[in-house]
């Protein structure tokens, strides 16, 4: 399962997209992790939320950053 954090320049409300292959959380530049938790709480496991938090805040976690248009896409480095 791939977990993706997307920061979008124009996102007003955090959004969760959960498919069989990918969990994608889209947030705006002004959102904080509490707002992310409001969206993913109850939908994701504690392990998935911990992984998402590492993508969000752990500077020692190996991550890929890719800018595509208005999105900054953050994923775990393989």
The structural domains of the chain, with segments of one domain joined by +, span: 2-76
- Bridge partners, 48 (sequence order): none
Residue 69 has what pLDDT? 95
Residue 61 has what pLDDT? 96
Tens of pLDDT, residues 36-75: 999 999 999 999 999 999 999 999 999 999 999 999 999 9
Exposure b/e, 23-60, CB count within 10 A at least 16 = b: bbbbbeeebeeeebeebbeeebeeebbebbebbbeeee
The two structure tokens encoding residue 4: 């993706």
Cα-Cα end-to-end distance for the chain: 13
Tens of pLDDT, residues 10-28: 999 999 999 999 999 999 9
């Amino acid at each position: 399962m791939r977990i993706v954090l997307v920061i979008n320049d124009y996102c007003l409300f955090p959004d969760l997209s959960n498919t069989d292959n990918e969990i994608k959380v889209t947030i705006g530049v002004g959102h904080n992790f509490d707002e992310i938790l409001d969206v993913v709480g109850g939908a994701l496991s504690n392990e998935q939320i911990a992984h998402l938090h590492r993508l969000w805040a752990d500077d020692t976690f190996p991550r890929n950053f890719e800018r595509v248009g208005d999105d900054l896409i953050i994923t775990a480095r393989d």
